[in-house]
């Protein structure tokens, strides 16, 4: 996460202070991005939007998972992804969605996957809601742009993941030679779940 630079700036002695600063900044980012989404989507700026932004930033997920700092990156990017879906469906612009997906996948793939699945359902519902009565060709074009965004957003951070995966696989084979001899069976899968 770009916010991890704060740890480098403050050093090891002030790690707790750096953690508090990062939590506050990420919660503030969640409020700010939600405020931007509400303002752009509703095209209005009222005092209530500030209230709803604060409610989003301090919701149960944020409060319960504040200690998983990397998960908070996906949380403040969710409104940006929703705005990207809005722009893709309404205005046929793909860059906001593609770059926000890329950022989430690069920063934390696990939460990026969760946000990606949730935003896919958002896209599906919004697409069905806004494309009533449109031609089949136009519907396929919107879906194609969406899937192109997702594929591009997964391939761009692959430059980060590929060396890490190769390193991890090399370490697994060197340190745990019995790992490759294990067979995958139903009992092992159930046990791991």
Question: Nearest Cα to 54, choosing from 79, 27, 73, 90?
Answer: 27
Q: What is the model's pLDDT at position 159?
A: 78
Place 177 in a pLDDT band, splitting at 50, 70 and 90. Answer: very low
Place 108 in a pLDDT band, splitting at 50, 70 and 90. Answer: confident
Mean per-residue pLDDT, 28-35: 93
Mean per-residue pLDDT, 49-60: 88
Mean per-residue pLDDT, 125-154: 87
Spell out the residues 6+ positions from residue 50 whose beta carbon is closer than 8 angstroms to its own: 35
**Least confident among 20-34, 36-50, 179-193:** 179-193
Yes or no: say if 34 and 79 are a contact pair by the CB < 8 Å rule. yes
The structure tokens 């630079």 sit at 5
- Comparing 193 with 47, the larger pLDDT belongs to 47
């Amino acid at each position: 996460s770009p916010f991890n630079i704060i740890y480098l700036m403050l050093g090891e002695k002030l790690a707790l202070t750096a953690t508090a600063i990062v939590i506050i900044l990420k919660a503030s980012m969640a409020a700010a991005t939600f405020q931007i989404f509400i303002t752009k989507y509703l095209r209005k700026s009222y005092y209530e939007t500030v209230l709803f932004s604060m409610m989003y930033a301090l919701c149960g997920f944020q409060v319960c998972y504040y200690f998983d700092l990397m998960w908070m990156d996906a949380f403040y990017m969710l409104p940006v992804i929703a705005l990207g879906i809005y722009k893709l469906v309404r205005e046929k612009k793909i860059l906001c969605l593609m770059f926000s997906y890329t950022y989430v996948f690069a920063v934390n793939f696990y939460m990026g996957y969760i946000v990606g699945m949730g935003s896919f359902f958002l896209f599906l519902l919004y697409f069905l809601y806004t494309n009533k009565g449109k031609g089949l060709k136009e519907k396929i074009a919107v879906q194609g742009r969406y899937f192109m965004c997702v594929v591009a957003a997964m391939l761009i951070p692959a430059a980060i993941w590929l060396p890490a995966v190769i390193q991890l696989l090399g370490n697994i084979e060197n340190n745990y030679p019995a790992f490759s001899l294990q067979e995958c069976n139903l009992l092992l899968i159930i046990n791991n779940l």
